[in-house]
Chain A
Amino acid sequence: MLEIRNLHARVKEKEILKGIDLTVRTGEVHAIMGPNGSGKSTLAQVLAGRDTYVVTDGSVVFDGKNLLEMSPEDRARDGVFMAFQYPVEIPGVSNLYFLKAALNQIRKSRGLPELDAMDFLNVVKERMKLMDMDQALLNRPVNAGFSGGEKKRNEIFQMAVLEPRLAILDETDSGLDIDALKIVSRGVNALRSPERSMILVTHYQRLLNYIQPDFVHVLSEGKIVRSGGKELALEVEERGYAGLEWETADAR
């Protein structure tokens, strides 16, 4: 589904990604860990198409298409979803209205009929229960004045409504209390399916207790320095990044 080869990216003059190789097959869940500033968010943003980051080398193929040539909205319409590490506030635009517009754009691009207000609400209600979302939150402007945890939960709620094929979750677990972490994990697990792939960026093994990844990668200074199964996360937790013996990246 996703093939990243030798990906290099910089912001301004600074090179951040220095040759990432990663293959994510349909239905797989990959966790990416790594110290602060190692380039995890950069990788996520490059995949989502943010133009602050300039790709200087390498390729990304998504479903046989050159992802790097596509606009951010086309990527989204093709099923790439990113849950932001820092979700953005959009004053004046209600959460529900925003989500309906997004869903209908995505549907339109796939040749599906747009949902009217009623149908949309039916879709939303179910997902609200799943994410234990408060109705009041949905009527408020997108993320405006949301607490850190509410924002994160809202990201996963959006994912649940938009049903992407590739979900990239950037530190969705940070800032969540234990109950919220359970709810978010429940949401993510409910969306796990043989048709959907996920990349979880996280610092904590904790999340991986709830969401069991198929693979774990450690990113350091813009490179994947180790890859393994879920036991790698435990090793990271125990020994810290510094204590890991770096092996040559052998990303699948």
Chain B
Amino acid sequence: MSTQTSTIEELAAREYKWGFVTDIDAESVPPGLNEDIIRLISAKKQEPEFMLEWRLRAYRHWLTMKEPTWANVHYPPIDYQSIVYYSAPKSKKERPKSLDEVDPELLKTYEKLGIPLRERELLAGVAVDAVFDSVSVATTFKEKLGELGIIFCSFSEAVREHPELVRKYLGSVVPYTDNFFATLNSAVFSDGSFCYIPKGVRCPMELSTYFRINAQNTGQFERTLIIADEGAYVSYLEGCTAPMRDSNQLHAAVVELVALDNAQIKYSTVQNWYPGDKEGKGGIYNFVTKRGKCAGVNSKISWTQVETGSAITWKYPSCLLLGENSVGEFYSVALTNHYQQADTGTKMIHIGRNTRSTIVSKGISAGHGQNTYRGMVKIQKSAAGARNYSQCDSLLLGDKCGAHTFPYLEVKNTSSQVEHEASTSKIGEDQIFYCRQRGLSTEDAVGMIVNGFCKEVFRELPMEFAVEAQKLLGVSLEGSVG
């Protein structure tokens, strides 16, 4: 989302966010959660009966659940009855009227990332009027994808237009009973992306939420479902590098990926939600459930993520490796600065024979940031010949931050191989001085060392995303050393 990729398309898509719900803007849904609210959400979205039933089942189950406390993150209790679950966008009155009303620190960051003025307003949620011709851009993409039989639309649209696919795959990877936040999401999800790649089709472009016109207003309970049919390939990009502001503090998204025989899904995320100010006030709580199912033989799912935002991140993109010879990968950079907390990692569940998984996790902590890696590798009895390689490195900047590593390992098949490597290092004052003696500023030195540390992960990102991610880390770490 820096200048390089700030295309008209993405601007257009974002503008649309503010245009699309005008018809319901007047409607005021009271805060709180009960069956009536869920019925209302479903009705508003003109959902078929099965969808409402599913939401209600999830809701009833949620009532029996307790919020998890095992993660190494700390936050005041969330009052679920004070949340407005119908995610109508903020009316113009509630939003800042100009950039003058926005946190100056945030504005500085936009400037450093080189985001055009116009976009800064949008990102900061300033009430501006739409001026872009968004419709034509979206149509061009849709036509191109449509020719190949690829379905790429908002989740709501998919529920209406492709109910058979939604019905078949929704909850097939993350069941509505899965965990507290995923269950809540299942009951009240607002919108998200849906993507289906038919048999043997290689999606010719990186699919990005930027290009999607309908589902911009995904709100705090986003739902994404991606299905790669036999022999299909898709690379999907989520998020953007610019810090996004949102007045909803709690975000509980669910992402489900399904890869059938010989299919491959590459899912890349750059997450940079507003982390709060330097004291940690006002940031987003990001509690996400992401899981992929390698259902078919020789299928492959790769998660690559760069997490720099949010006050609290709770996130474990995982892979269920069912198909024989299927492959799961997880490449992650998680950065915490100031008072940010991240508890993230992955689960690789080996079920099929000769399944393989790779985990590369890079945690960077600065300021008072707390970074926890939590990973589970589970090799079931059926997974003969399974292999896992995990590498888990932490980098500390300063001495007030923390890095914690919790690898869990469960091996039930003796023919499998599991390797784990871990390291913790610190950016030393002597390293910084060495760089400065060669003419580099402290910030450049830190950026260079951090980027070197993350190289293995950045390599997995699509090119333009990688460039942005590097820049982003630099900006996120400013002032953290020296």
Q: Which residues of A contact B (CB under 8 A)?
A: 48-50, 52, 71-73, 75-77, 81-82, 84, 87-94, 97-99, 101-103, 105-106, 109, 141, 158, 162
Contacts and interface: CB of A to CB of B under 8 A. Distances in A.
B439 A73 contact: yes
B448 A98 contact: yes
Nearest to A83: B437
B440 A50 contact: no
Task: Name which of B437, B440, B441 has the most chain A CB atoms within 10 A of its CB.
Answer: B437
B440 A105 contact: yes
Contacts of A92: 449, 451-453, 455
Interface string B427-471: 011110111111111101000110111010000000000000000
Interface in B164-210: none
Contact of A50 (B433, B435, B438): B433
Interface residues on B, range: 20 to 34
A82 B434 CA distance: 9
Nearest to B441: A73
B434 A87 contact: yes
A82 B439 contact: no
State the main secondary structure of chain B at its contact with A: helix
Interface centre among A72, A75, A77 (most CB of B within 10 A): A72
Contacts of A91: 425, 452-453
Contacts of B434: 84, 87-88, 90
8 contacts: A49-B436, A73-B441, A84-B434, A88-B428, A90-B431, A90-B435, A93-B451, A97-B448
Contacts of B435: 90, 98, 102
A109 B437 contact: no
B36 to A, nearest CB: 55
A102 B438 contact: yes
Contacts of B444: 101, 105
Contacts of B452: 90-94, 141
A73 B281 CA distance: 35
A84 B435 CA distance: 12
A113 to B, nearest CB: 16
A223 B428 CA distance: 31
A120 to B, nearest CB: 14
B437 A72 contact: yes
Given A92-B455, A102-B438, A72 B449 contact: no
B440 to A, nearest CB: 6
Contacts of A158: 438
Nearest to B436: A72
A77 B430 contact: no
A81 B438 CA distance: 7
Nearest to A86: B430
A248 B451 CA distance: 52
B455 A77 contact: no
B440 A73 contact: yes
Nearest to A72: B436
Nearest to A143: B434
A88 B434 CA distance: 7
Contacts of A87: 434
A73 B294 CA distance: 51
A75 B439 CA distance: 8
Contacts of A97: 448
A14 B434 CA distance: 24
A79 B436 CA distance: 12
Contacts of A77: 439
**Most interface-central of B429, B436, B439 (chain A CB within 10 A):** B439
Contact of B430 (A88, A102, A141): A88
B449 A73 contact: no
Contact of A102 (B428, B429, B433, B439): B439
Interface string B407-443: 0000000000000000001001111011111111110
